[in-house]
Structure 1
Amino acid sequence: MLQPVEQLAARRFPGDSIVRGNKSEQTVQAGNAVSCNVAQWLGSRVAAVLWNGALRRTQESAAEGIPPGRRHRQPPR
């Protein structure tokens, strides 16, 4: 069986990563970890979608002559 340090290395964690707990707890933590490069890729994809959505809404608002921050109608009182 792989040691916790080896499991983390397989998931591309830096060699100086600190994992606390006994060996069993470290194994659980390493087993539940998301690979650093996968987390970075996922985060960059989410950021791109959020950025592009915000940019598109800004462009649509400008095309419609709506001032920034006033995209959504106010509910009736």
Structure 2
Amino acid sequence: MKVPIRGRRAVQVTELMRRMVMGAGKKIEHTAETAKGKTKEAAGKAVGNETLTAKGKAEQVKGDMLQAGQKAKDALKH
């Protein structure tokens, strides 16, 4: 059963939903960054390319830092 939401309550619900969707999208992006780094690192190790391995590790760190920042941001929201 749908309950109509009107006025100020509708704005609050809409804002909450927008934040949830944006937060989920960011989390996916940051997780993908970490996964991409892991893939590069593994490929670098497999072919013996130290530069690719280092770039992979750097991307992992970047993704991990972005995830930590997003988690801190989420904790402050609630």
Task: Give the TM-score normalised by the residue count of structure 2.
Answer: 0.48
Which has the bigger relative contact order, CA under 8 A and spacing at least 6? 2
Task: Give the TM-score normalised by the residue count of structure 1.
Answer: 0.49
Higher Cα Rg, which structure: 1
